[in-house]
Structure 1
């Protein structure tokens, strides 16, 4: 990844795009007092440098029939690098798994999965846990209400972006 210096305008562009990536280049340029060419160039530079990983539409899970969200703790028998990597690859490849974290201490992984219903969870459990001899323990928690879901990453306050920018250069 290229080293990219981020200034206050870039931070504001990143924040605006996190809130709504469907904004047109023209509206972003007007909002931040930039020419459309400069705004486009800045956003492209942020993408090329890896600050913007991807853009996606966030769907309402209920409207698409995914009514059950599970937070799942998974502990493995063997925690060597190959065993951890093998499970992670399988979990990440499963379309029901939305998030996968290696954690410590406690379980080896925490997964966030969304499925249609409890039979859908049972199919997921069979696919990921039951057939894997290295899975020692699975503890699933089922959401009864989603109080907040926000994929945005907290950004530095406008007064401190230069300190953060220098520490984030690679």
Structure 2
């Protein structure tokens, strides 16, 4: 990955909806070169996917929770099993293994507190290996960014 690839990635992280001609002009390369490089970045997995970022407050009520999870048994297969469990849950937006402290931190988006309670029961209280759950509920989101620094 060179400086041109970094410029392309930075521009796409700000606005992935721009046309190839607009992107090429923004990063100061020719459109065919730009198209080839973006294709290569996709095929190599550097660009994992391109999505629309939806403002949760614009589409209905929502509750964001940051949830710490500690497992009773931290064997590799138990950690992987918990990750598989939460991977299938649409309300879990992100899952991180962390250290030290809890085993996982989840970012969860649900409609309201009853929806969170149902999720907590489904994923945490009915799961034998979950030892401790600590949830923090967002009252205001002052920053949300998807860009990574290149």
TM over 0.5: yes
TM-score, normalising length: structure 1:
0.85
Equivalent residue, structure 1, for 2:54: 59
Deviation at 1:101, TM superposition (A): 0.2
Q: How many residues align?
A: 150
Equivalent residue, structure 2, for 1:18: 13
Q: Write the mapping of 1:127-166 to structure 2, written as runs, cut at 5 A.
A: 127-155=122-150
Equivalent residue, structure 1, for 2:2: 7
- Contact 2:65/2:136 (<8 A) preserved: yes
TM-score, normalising length: structure 2:
0.96
Question: Where does structure 1 differ by over 4 angstroms across 4 or more consecutive aligned residues?
Answer: none
Partner Cα distance (1:139, 1:22) in 2 = 38
Query: What are the ranges of 5 or more consecutive residues in structure 2 without an aligned counterpart?
Result: none
Paired residue secondary structure (1:137): strand
RMSD over aligned CA atoms reads 0.9
Equivalent residue, structure 2, for 1:104: 99
Partner Cα distance (1:145, 1:81) in 2 = 36
Question: Which structure carries more relative contact order (alpha carbon 8 Å, separation 6+)?
Answer: 1
